[in-house]
C-alpha cells in the first residue's frame, strides 16, 4: 500500500485548520497525527524531520479528524483525552473539558490540604464534571479524603471512569446543594468550578458554544446563581477556618467577594491566573 509524506499531510492539514479559524492549527494537527499514529507529539515532529511516510489508512483517519476539527469539534473530543496537571482524563460529549487555568485554581485547595493539621483532611469538590479537580486533590494529597459531587448524569459517567480505583476519592451523583450532609462541619476545603457564564453571554468560541454542556456553562442572569448556593452550602460543610475556592470569570471577582462577605465569610480575596486575569476567589469560614 503506498505511503504519503507525513510532512506534507501535516502541512496541508494545518492550513485547513488555519483557514477554519482554529487558534493553534499546527499544534492541533500534530496532536491529531500523534493520536492516529499512537505516538507522542515529539515523536511526530521527529518523524516529520526524518521524512517518514504514513499509510493510506492512517492518512484517511487523519483527514477525517482534521475535517471534524475544522468544524470546530473540540480537539479533546477527537482524541478522547484532556491533560490536567499530571493527569490524563477521559472526556467527550456531555462533559466540560477541563481548562489549563483550572490547574492553577486547584493549587489553592491542594495547598490548604497539605497544610491542614488533620492527618486525613477532607476536601470536597462540588460540581466535579470530569473529576479533574477532585482527582488532582486525591492524587497529589494522598493522605486526604476527597469527596466529589456531580448532578449531570452524562458528566457523572465520565467522572466515574476517571476516578475509578482511587481509594481516597468518593464520587456521588447528586446536586451540590444537598450533597454530603454527613460531612457537615468537617471539611478543610470546599472547591468548585461552577457554571458562571451569564445566560445572555453566549461564548464566542464554537468549541464552547456548540459542544460544552449548557449545564456546565450558564449560571443565571449574572452568572452567579450557583455561586450564591455555594456560599451557603460550603459554610455548612467546612469546619471553622476552612477554605472555600471558587473559579469564575475575569469580571466577577468583586461581585463574588460581596456575596461571600455578606454571607459571613472572612478574608475574601480574588486571585489572578497566569494571564493576569481574575480567575478564583477564596474565603475562610468564620
* Domain parsing of the chain, residue ranges: 3-71, 84-284
Mean pLDDT for the stretch of residues 165-179: 96
Concatenating the DSSP letter of every residue in 28-52 gives: HHHHHHHHHHT--HHHHHHHHHHT-
Percent of the chain with pLDDT over 70: 99
pLDDT of residue 155: 97
Per-residue pLDDT tens over the stretch 91-146: 999 999 999 999 999 999 999 999 999 999 999 999 999 999 999 999 999 999 99
DSSP at 188: E
pLDDT tens track for 34-45: 999 999 999 999
* pLDDT at residue 123 in the model: 98
Q: Which three cell numbers stand for residue 111?
A: 495547598
Find where cell 490536567 sits.
Answer: 84
Query: Could you tell me which CATH number the domain at 84-284 has?
Result: 3.40.50.150
Q: How many whole angstroms separate alpha carbon 53 and alpha carbon 74? A: 27
In tens, the pLDDT along 234-252 reads 999 999 999 999 999 999 9
SS3 of 190, please?
strand
**Are 80 and 31 within 8 A, CB to CB?**
no
Which contacts of 161-170 are long-range, i.e. CB under 8 A and separated by 24 or more positions?
Answer: 161/90, 162/89, 162/90, 162/130, 162/131, 162/132, 162/135, 163/131, 163/134, 163/135, 163/138, 166/135, 166/138, 166/139, 168/138, 168/142, 168/143, 168/144, 169/134, 169/135, 169/138, 170/145, 170/146
User: Confidence class of residue 1 from pLDDT cuts 50, 70 and 90?
Assistant: very low
List pLDDT tens digits, range 180-198.
999 999 999 999 999 999 9
Comparing 3-71 with 84-284, is the CATH topology the same? no
| pLDDT over threshold 90, residue 28 | yes
Is residue 202 pLDDT above 90, yes or no? Answer: no
* Mean pLDDT, the chain, whole residue set: 96
Cα angle 32, 205, 20; round to 5: 55
pTM equals: 0.92
Residue the block writes with cell 470536597: 124
Helix (H, G, I), strand (E, B) or coil at 127: coil
At 2, the pLDDT band (50, 70, 90 cuts) reads: low
For residue 220, give the C-alpha cell.
443565571
| 4: confidence class by pLDDT, cuts 50, 70, 90 | confident
Query: 194 φ, ψ to 5°?
Result: -80, 170
CATH architecture of 3-71: Orthogonal Bundle (1.10)
Which of 99, 109, 117 has the alpha carbon at shortest distance from 139?
109
C-alpha angle with apex 230: 224 to 235, nearest 5 degrees? 140
Angstrom distance (rounded) from CA 148 to CA 216: 15
pLDDT of 204 reads: 87
pLDDT tens digit sequence for 249-264: 999 999 999 999 999 9
* Neighbouring-strand partners of residue 172: 149
Is residue 242 a contact partner of residue 189, using CB atoms and an 8 Å limit? yes
Mean pLDDT within 18-37: 97
Provide CB contacts within 8 A for 38, sequence distance 6+.
none
Amino acid at each position: 500500500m503506498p505511503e504519503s509524506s507525513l510532512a506534507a499531510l501535516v502541512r496541508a492539514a494545518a492550513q485547513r485548520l488555519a483557514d477554519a479559524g482554529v487558534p493553534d492549527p499546527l499544534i492541533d494537527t500534530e496532536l491529531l497525527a500523534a493520536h492516529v499514529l499512537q505516538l507522542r507529539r515529539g515523536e511526530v515532529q521527529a518523524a516529520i524531520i526524518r521524512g517518514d511516510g504514513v499509510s493510506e489508512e492512517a492518512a484517511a483517519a487523519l483527514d477525517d479528524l482534521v475535517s471534524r476539527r475544522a468544524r470546530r469539534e473540540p480537539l479533546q473530543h477527537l482524541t478522547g483525552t484532556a491533560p490536567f496537571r499530571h493527569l490524563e482524563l477521559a472526556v467527550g460529549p456531555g462533559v466540560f473539558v477541563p481548562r489549563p487555568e483550572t490547574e492553577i485554581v486547584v493549587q489553592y485547595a491542594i495547598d490548604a490540604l497539605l497544610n491542614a493539621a488533620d492527618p486525613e483532611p477532607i476536601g470536597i469538590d462540588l460540581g466535579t464534571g470530569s473529576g479533574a479537580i477532585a482527582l488532582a486533590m486525591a492524587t497529589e494529597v494522598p493522605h486526604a479524603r476527597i469527596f466529589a459531587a456531580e448532578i449531570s448524569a452524562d458528566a457523572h459517567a465520565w467522572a466515574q471512569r476517571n476516578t475509578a480505583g482511587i481509594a481516597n476519592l468518593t464520587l456521588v451523583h447528586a446536586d451540590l446543594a444537598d450533597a454530603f450532609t454527613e460531612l457537615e462541619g468537617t471539611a478543610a476545603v470546599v472547591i468548585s468550578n461552577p457554571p458562571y457564564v451569564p445566560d445572555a453571554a453566549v461564548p464566542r468560541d464554537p468549541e464552547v458554544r456548540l459542544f460544552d454542556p449548557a449545564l456546565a456553562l450558564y449560571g443565571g442572569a449574572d452568572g452567579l446563581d450557583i455561586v450564591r448556593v455555594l456560599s451557603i452550602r460550603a459554610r455548612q460543610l467546612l469546619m471553622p477556618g476552612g477554605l472555600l475556592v471558587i473559579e469564575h470569570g475575569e469580571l466577577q471577582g468583586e461581585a463574588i467577594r460581596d456575596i461571600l462577605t455578606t454571607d459571613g465569610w472572612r478574608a475574601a480575596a480574588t486571585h489572578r491566573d497566569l494571564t493576569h486575569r481574575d480567575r478564583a476567589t477564596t474565603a475562610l469560614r468564620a
